[in-house]
Amino acid sequence: MDDAPLVRKHTGDFHWEGVDVLRYKQEGEAPFKDVTRQVLFESASLPAQLRYFEVAPGGHTTLERHEHVHAVMVIRGRGQCLVGEHAYAIGERDLVNVPPMTWHQFRAAADAPLGFLCLVAAERDRPQMPTRDEASQLQQVLDKL
Write out the H or E segment, with its range, that includes residue 136. helix 132-144
The beta strand positions in 47-109, using DSSP E, are: 48-60, 70-83, 86-91, 95-98, 104-108
Find out whether 117 and 96 touch, Cβ atoms under 8 Å.
no
For residues 140 and 145, what is the distance between their CA atoms, to the nearest angstrom? 9
Which residues inside 97-136 make contact with a second copy, applying CB under 8 A?
97-100, 117, 119, 121-122
Residue 69 is a binding residue for a second copy (CB under 8 A): yes
Among positions 21, 22, 23, 43, the unique one binding a second copy when judged by CB under 8 A:
43
Interface with a second copy (CB under 8 A): 1-2, 4-10, 14, 16, 19, 40-41, 43, 45-48, 50, 68-69, 71, 73, 75, 81, 83-84, 86, 88, 90-100, 117, 119, 121-122
Catalytic residues: 118
